[in-house]
Structure formats: C-alpha cells, structure tokens
Structure 1
Amino acid sequence: MFGGGGGMNPRKMEQMMEQMGIDVEDVEAEEVIIRTDEFDLVFDDAEVTKMDARGQETYQIIGSPEQVESGAAGGSAAGDAGADEESGSAIPDDDIEIVATRTGVSEDEAREALEDNDGDLAAAVEALE
C-alpha cells in the first residue's frame, strides 16, 4: 500500500494514515480467542491494534496462539464476564440461579444441567422438568 514502507519513519507513516482518514489505536486485550469449527486459537498477552478506515474496523493480532479443542477456550461466545470463577465453571451464576429457581432443584443440579446443555437455559429447564 505504501510501496514497501519498511524504512519509512513511523511518525511520517502515522501522519500519512491520518491524512487518509485512518485512525489507529492499541487495544488492551488480556486474551484473544478465534473460534473455528475444528479448534480454538487462544492468544494470551497478544498485542492488538485496531485500525478504523472510514468506518471499516480492522483488528491486527500479534502473538503466538495455543491451539485447543473447539469450544474449550473461555466461556460462551458472548463472553465469560459472569462466570463462576471459584468453581471453574463457564456457566454464569445468574443462569444457574434462574434454572434452580424455575425448576426447584439445587444449584449444583442446575449447573450440571446447564453444562450438559452447553449453557442453554431453556434446554436445561426442559431437561429438569
């Protein structure tokens, strides 16, 4: 795009990108997970850069990923923010409470039903009723 640019001054490159309407910013990422049908790629301590070129966002990940079994990394695709970290479960405590309250079973039974149904609330409730 910039004719090799390998020897270009980084400051000059930044000015050129700004003139072209490209904003670049570092993203403070703790972990990056790329899910495929066959496996997950997990980047710990990756350097992530976000480029916004007139509304089109592009992310660049620099690091060495670990390849793990599909679905084994992190929690659900929606994130792991509410996960029960003490038990190591990827099921959010709120989901466990909802299933336990709805079905009248213990939280352990609700957690097990959710894990058996990949975190699907409706399927877990149906399995317990």
Structure 2
Amino acid sequence: MFGGGGGGLDPRKMEQMMKQMGIDVDELDAKEVIIRTEDTELVFDNPDVTKMDARGQETYQVIGSPEEREAGSGNAGASADVTDSAAGEIPDADVEIVATRTGASEDDARAALENNDGDLAAAVEELE
C-alpha cells in the first residue's frame, strides 16, 4: 500500500518526513533504564533508547526486556554501588533537562541534582 514491497516506509524517508514536521530523533547510548513504580522496579540493561523532540516536547522510547524487582528489595548492594559510582557523576542529559525546565545554570542544575540524589523532579522543585 505504501511504497513497494514488504516493510512499509523507508527509514530514511520516515526520518526526512519527521524532520519536515519539526521532530528530531536521536538514539541514546543508554547503559541502564530504571522505571520505579510504587511496588516494583523495571530494570532495562543495555536498552535501545530513542529520544524524539517534537517542538520542545520530549518523548523517550525504551526497547528491551526488563528484569522486574520489588521496590526496595534485595538490591541494596546494587543501590549502594550505583550511589557510590554516581556520586558527582550526574548524567549531562539530566543536568540539561533540569537547566532547561528551570532556566538555571548547568552548575546550579547539577548541584540541585546532587542535593537530591539525582531525582529530576526534586531538583526542578528545589530550583523553582
């Protein structure tokens, strides 16, 4: 129906169309994505992460098979390792998000993230 053969639209044509509509697509080199809910954590190791920016509205797509854990259970050692290795190593993307949302400098955004253990929402709230 759409352009010959089997697989639908050519990825290059799709990317071209998205750019014309003002949508930027970037692949992120993510090592891990954690989704925390009230009861569980979904941990994606080495996922494929795509960021789409449609005129300032950012959307992230995570592709992978998560390991499901109970929230706060049995991974205290892992949490400690993450905290130790992450101390002072706030991801630049997080700093950029907080700085953009609040209008703060990157240094202030990084400090707010460090004060809030990397929690984006708490850092934004601190700076607003």
Q: Which residue of 1 aligns with 2:70?
A: 69
CA distance in 2, matches of 1:4, 1:74: 48
In the alignment, is the contact (CA less than 8 A) between 1:25 and 1:49 conserved in 2? yes
Give 1:72 shift.
4.5
Q: Which residue of 2 aligns with 1:84?
A: 84
Give 1:32 shift.
0.2
Number of equivalenced pairs: 84
Label 1:82 to 1:36 Cα distance change in 2 as closer, same or farther (>3 A). Answer: closer
Structure 2's unaligned 5+ residue stretches are: 88-116, 118-128
Higher helix share: 2
Identity fraction in percent: 60
Give 1:74 shift.
7.6
Larger radius of gyration: 1
CA distance in 1, matches of 2:74, 2:46: 15
Flag as ranges the 4+ runs of structure 1 deviating above 2 A. 3-6, 71-75, 79-85
Query: One-letter code of the match for 1:54?
Result: R
Task: Describe the superposition over 1:70-116 as per-residue Cα deviations: whole angstroms up to 9, x where unpaired.
Answer: 135988xxx9897336xxxx9x6xxxxxxxxxxxxxxxxxxxxxxxx
| TM-score, normalising length: structure 1 | 0.54
Per the alignment, in what secondary structure is the counterpart of residue 68 of structure 2? strand
